[in-house]
Amino acid sequence: MTNDVIYEDETFAPFKYLCLNRETMEKYSGEVEKLAHRLVGMILSSLGLAADKFKDCFKNQLSMVRLNYYPPCPFPDLALGVGRHKDSSAVTVLAQDDVGGLQVKRKSDGEWIPVKPCPGAYIINVGDIVQVCMLCHFAWFC
Amino acid sequence: MGVIDPAFIQSTEHRPKSKVVEVNEIPVIDLSGTRDESLIIAEVGKACEQWGFFQVINHGVPSELCREVESEAKRFFGLDLEEKRKVRRDEFNAMGYHDGEHTKNVRDWKEVFDYLVEDNAQVPSSYEPDDKDLRTLTNQWPQHDLHFR
């Protein structure tokens, strides 16, 4: 349903509100960013590094929010909503709805296993950038 | 049922399995501020080492806001393609709507909408190392649809 309003003024009608209200979306990205920074800090702490060391890395950042829509697929045995991949990000904060479908690769045996939808939870994926930074960091000290 | 566009077809070894086993073993970490921070950090470290990912609950992002964003997103993707394409991404601006995403050269069965946390980010205009030109990525919002009569 769109929020159309009929305007009496014949000369001008103001913004037509469709969806993705900018204020709401920016508030959301700000909240998720706070969480992401807390998570990166905790990952660093878990490795015995200073938790605030990364802050400068996120100046001029390209962090983004992606809204994903997976329409019903009549060929579920042939296609995927998104194919196997690693995230190139530092961390990905992923929300899954109650339909589910996300699978992750288990490190111990390489098996793809489904992530059971958990209401209100986020799935946190540690991306390539953190892995590369850690390798560089520890190579420097080793 | 029609015929599937070959661009979407996964190679045999990467096709989805019809039967998957539901497991409950992926770590769930409670981020409540009332918990001991060092305990949380230890759980994060262990999850990163053993899995490379984990789930978080009580993460501080207001649930009301999450629901609002979800319903805004549903409304957006429910719009006519023509309407969605008014904010589609192009070769100059990677932000906005896109329905031709590929992962490892296979097309994904999905539609996306991207926006930057910090709007108007400057990026190199090409991958060429000598190219010093910058271009600006800008968020596109569907409600900025000004109507004159």
Residues B51, A104: C-beta atoms closer than 8 Å = yes
- Residue A53, classed as helix, strand or coil, is coil
Residue B5 CA to residue A59 CA, distance in Å, equals 41
* Residue range B102-132, pLDDT digits in tens: 888 888 889 999 999 999 999 888 888 898 8
Task: Using alpha carbons only, give the angle B126, B128, B133 rounded to the nearest 5 degrees.
Answer: 50
- The domain spans of chain A are 22-141
Q: What pLDDT does A132 receive?
A: 81
- The domain spans of chain B are 80-149
Searching chain A, which residue's CA lies closest to the CA of residue B116?
A64
Q: Does the beta carbon of A1 lie under 8 angstroms from any beta carbon of chain B?
A: yes
CATH superfamily to which A22-141 belongs:
B-lactam Antibiotic, Isopenicillin N Synthase; Chain (2.60.120.330)
Q: What ipTM was estimated for this complex?
A: 0.88
Contacts of B38 (CB under 8 A, 6+ apart): none
Q: How does DSSP classify residue A16?
A: P
* Residue range A18-75, pLDDT digits in tens: 789 999 999 999 999 999 999 999 999 998 888 887 788 888 889 999 999 999 988 8
Distance from CA of B16 to the nearest CA of A (A): 6
Most confident of A51-55, B7-11, B138-142: B138-142
Residues of A in Cβ contact (< 8 Å) with B146: 14-16
Q: What pLDDT does B149 receive?
A: 44
Q: Does the beta carbon of A104 lie under 8 angstroms from any beta carbon of chain B?
A: yes
Residues A124, B55: C-beta atoms closer than 8 Å = yes
* Residue range B54-101, pLDDT digits in tens: 999 999 999 999 999 999 999 999 999 999 999 999 988 999 999 988
% of chain A surpassing 90 pLDDT: 36
Q: What pLDDT does A140 receive?
A: 59
Would you call B29 exposed, middle or buried from its count of C-beta atoms within 10 A (0-12, 13-18, 19+)? buried
Contacts of A129 (CB under 8 A, 6+ apart): A88, A89, A90
Provide the 10 A C-beta neighbour count for residue B84.
21
Query: Considering CB atoms only, which of B9, B59, B101 is closest to A78?
Result: B9
